[in-house]
Amino acid sequence: MSEANIKVRIPTQLRSLSAGQGEVTLKGSTVAEVLKELDSNFTGFSERLFDETGQLRRFVNIFLNDEDVRFLSGLDTPVEPGQTLSIVPAVAGG
């Protein structure tokens, strides 16, 4: 599978890591590859998104378009050109 250009939406809480950008375009063929590219370009994302075992932190949700990747194939979910990944931290409240 070839690498696709994927838009990644960065939440306000993490924009200090992306030089203030709310959206970046990255390459990858899976969600994991795109997130790895995100950390390669903007150091610090891995620590915020993944725990010490390399699993997505429980309070971090990743959506491919409008679908939570946990209900697809997780980080192995394939991505296609024109799709959008959104990083959505869970927010406490009530």
Contact 85, 8 (CB under 8 A): yes
Q: Cβ-count burial of 34 within 10 angstroms (0-12 exposed, 13-18 middle, 19+ buried)?
A: buried
Fold of 4-89: Ubiquitin-like (UB roll) (3.10.20)
4-9 vs 60-64, strand pairing mode: unpaired
Residue 92 has pLDDT above 60, yes or no: no
Q: What is the pTM of this model?
A: 0.90
Q: Tell whether the model's pLDDT for residue 83 goes beyond 90.
A: yes
pLDDT digits (tens, 9 = 90+) for 7-61: 999 999 999 999 999 999 999 999 999 999 999 999 999 999 999 998 889 899 9
Residue ranges per structural domain of the chain: 4-89
Beta-ladder partners of 87 = 62
Confidence of residue 90 (pLDDT cuts 50, 70, 90): confident
